[in-house]
Amino acid sequence: MIHIPVLKKEVLEYLNPKPNENFIDCTVGEGGHAEVLLEKTGPGGKVLGIDLDPQQIEKCKLQLAQFSARAILINDSYVNLKEIVERKSFGPVNGILLDLGMSSAQLEGTQKGFSFKLDQGLDMRYNDEAGYFTAEKIINEWPENKLEEILREYGEEKFSKKIAKNITEQRKQGRIKTTFELIEIIKDATPSQYWRGKIHYATRTFQALRIAVNDELNNLEKVLPDAVSVLPSGGRLVAISFHSLEDRIVKNFFRQAASAKATASQVKILTKKPVIASPGEIKTNSRSRSAKLRAAIKI
Ligand code: SAH
């Protein structure tokens, strides 16, 4: 599946790239957003693109080859943003983009077990060298109460107790190794009306596992203040989130950084309400369905 960048027009509107300006794309992925930023910032502007998944960086290199030295691509976590910017002496920075979560290509084009549509091993790590543990380890080794907690908190799964209980029951028979085994266990633990719901009954469990494996919410909490501190006055920050937990973190951070009480890192919020995709975009790109964009400018 090809990844189509979400809210492309809106990203350009809020980052407002001009010739010779420099931007950081903290989740460069396949370079969809980076490409339009590079087009707008010629002839001398640069984009520093970061991605935790080495395969994404490889794809991005091909995608952005035409821009040669104007695209600087780094395989690392955006939690190391400040250190990367210093190491690369990158700047002045005019804007920073965060397009959270995973790409459509990762969902169905890898062997990582991100998708409940494919029967694969339960991995879910964006980067298998970064010291993260796999979803298989969580499913088979975490105590029932910890499992329940991540399903409830990261998945907002109303059947968290029943699913966690069934997982711990089933793993007594042998290690749970694949996405399809897990899906059967979820099905078995939930009522039949749930199987016919608007979203697939495994969606919330899979989301919870992916967030836990990659520590996504803590990473987001860490990067937001660092991003603001990297920006000079007038620099812009745009964050696109894909579920309510992420959006809440972005919203609360922006509010707090914009409040009179904030000492350092003051920002002005540019989006009173989150910007969402148009019906036309949702039709052509299902990933945009749950996207929420918030933007701020450093004072
Ligand atoms: N904007 C991109 C798509 C981004 S999808 C485009 O238009 O092509 C989100 C990307 O974030 C994925 O490639 C994923 O590997 C990456 N990612 C997730 N967590 C990350 C982290 N902690 N640091 C850096 N990249 C991360």
Task: Give tens-digit pLDDT for 23-46.
Answer: 999 999 999 999 999 999 999 999
52 lines ligand 1 (CB under 6 A): yes
Q: State which of 183, 214, 245 marks the end of a domain.
A: 214
102 lines ligand 1 (CB under 6 A): yes
Q: Per-residue pLDDT averaged across 216-244, rounded?
A: 96
Q: What is the largest CA-CA distance in the chain?
A: 62
Distance 139 CA to ligand 1 centre (A): 24
56 lines ligand 1 (CB under 6 A): yes
Tell whether 249 and 195 lie within a shared domain: no
pLDDT band per the 50, 70, 90 thresholds, residue 154: very high
Q: State which of 172, 197, 214 marks the end of a domain.
A: 214
113 lines ligand 1 (CB under 6 A): no
Tell whether 272 and 254 lie within a shared domain: yes
Q: What is the pLDDT of residue 114?
A: 95
User: Does residue 74 surpass a pLDDT of 60?
Assistant: yes
Task: Give residue-wise pLDDT tens across range 241-285.
Answer: 999 999 999 999 999 999 977 666 699 999 999 999 999 999 999
Tell whether 15 and 100 lie within a shared domain: yes
Distance 100 CA to ligand 1 centre (A): 6
For residues 238 and 234, give the distance between their C-alpha atoms in angstroms, rounded to a whole number.
13
Global pTM? 0.95
Q: State which of 214, 238, 259 marks the end of a domain.
A: 214
Tell whether 159 and 232 lie within a shared domain: no
49 lines ligand 1 (CB under 6 A): no
Distance 162 CA to ligand 1 centre (A): 32
DSSP codes joined into one string, 98-158: EE-S--HHHHHHSSS---TTS--BS---S-TTSSPPPHHHHHHHS-HHHHHHHHHHTT--T
CA dist 66 → 28, 50, 61, 203 (Å)? 16, 18, 9, 38
Tell whether 153 and 228 lie within a shared domain: no
Q: Which helix (H) or strand (E) holds 51?
A: strand 47-51
Residue 111 forms part of a structural domain: no
CA dist 93 → 22, 141, 236, 266 (Å)? 5, 43, 9, 16
Residue 71 forms part of a structural domain: yes
